[in-house]
Amino acid sequence: MYNYKIQLQYDGGRYDGWQRMGKDASNNTIEFKIFEIIKKMTGEEPDIMVGCRTEKGVHALCQTANFKLMVRRNPIEIKNYLNRYLPRDIGINHIEEVDERFHSQLNAKSKTYIYKLDTGDVANVFTRKYAYHTFEVPQFDDMRRGAEFFKGKHDFKAFTTAKKSKSTIREIKHIDINTEGTSCVIRITADDFLHNMARFMIGMLLDVGNSLKKPDDIRAALAGEDIVMSLPAESYGLFLERVLY
């Protein structure tokens, strides 16, 4: 078996996420589009592993995946073939043959998401599909105080729609909120993310910024106290920035 590691970017706006299985199974996914092209090129039907399974409408600046083939192929030929036949909102940046033991999900050490905000009086028409317009300027100092409670290892069961049969403990390695003009970027790095976890975290931070929640409500939610949770942030402002190995 020959193992190929790929790095790619995509606009997730019109897709049902990286992968949809079970009762929500869908062919309108990033994974399925790539699978179909690989199958067309090689005649094989490989399992495609991914570093971070992004959700419906979420984008990726640098996603990592891998798949195995029975017959060795030139990585450049695979890259060119994929980019030729994939939709234009999915781009393969790099492909290389790697050790057969490499697994893009199991070998990941950390994952980083960014969330883009537009705080201007009027939404920027050129970025409106990729940045959430806040209508009013949030209280960023309150958001930063609230963000401090996320740092470290916590049980994020209140911040996910994942099945609770699995562990919901995750470690937030880094979180910051940077502003420049009418733009803001929230960056979160964790050892891993639960389903919808990043969006729930950002939704709570936005409510803190709009004075609908207090910074301490984040601490209380993580501690399992009875807190009315915020709605998850809109998916179109969320980008997977990178997966580190």
Portion of the chain with pLDDT greater than 70, in percent: 98
Whether pLDDT at 150 is above 90: yes
Nearest to 114 by CA among 64, 58, 162: 58
Q: In sequence order, what are the residues at sequence separation of 6 or more whose Cβ sits closer than 8 angstroms to the Cβ of residue 130?
A: 59, 116, 236, 237, 239
23-73 pLDDT, tens digit per residue, is 667 899 999 999 999 999 999 999 999 999 999 999 999 999 999 999 999
Q: For residue 6, give the amino acid letter.
A: I
Compute the C-alpha angle 47/35/189, nearest 5°: 70
Q: In sequence order, what are the residues at sequence separation of 6 or more whose Cβ sits closer than 8 angstroms to the Cβ of residue 148?
A: 215
Query: In the structure encoding, which two tokens stand for residue 58, read together?
Result: 């979420």
Whether pLDDT at 238 is above 70: yes
Q: What is the pLDDT of residue 177?
A: 98
Q: What is the pLDDT of residue 21?
A: 65
**DSSP secondary structure string for all residues of the chain:** -EEEEEEEEE-GGGSS-S---GGG--S-SHHHHHHHHHHHHHS----EEESS---TT-EEEEEEEEEEESS---HHHHHHHHHHHS-TTEEEEEEEEE-TT--TTTT--EEEEEEEEE-SSS--TTTTTTSEE-SS---HHHHHHHHHTTSEEEE-GGG--S-TTS--EEEEEEEEEEEETTEEEEEEEES---TTHHHHHHHHHHHHHTTSS-HHHHHHHHTT---PPPPPPPGGGEEEEEEE-
Q: In sequence order, what are the residues at sequence separation of 6 or more whose Cβ sits closer than 8 angstroms to the Cβ of residue 162?
A: 168, 194, 195, 196, 197
Confidence of residue 22 (pLDDT cuts 50, 70, 90): low
Confidence of residue 172 (pLDDT cuts 50, 70, 90): very high
More confidently predicted of 23 and 5: 5
Q: What is the pLDDT of residue 165?
A: 67
For residue 202, how many C-alpha atoms fall within 13 Å in the half-sphere facing its CB?
29
Would you say 195 and 162 are in contact if contact means Cβ atoms under 8 Å apart? Answer: yes
CA gap 98, 160 in Å, rounded = 33
Task: Write phi, then psi, for 208 (nearest 5 degrees).
Answer: -65, -45
Reported pTM? 0.94
Q: What is the pLDDT of residue 70?
A: 97
CA gap 196, 98 in Å, rounded = 31
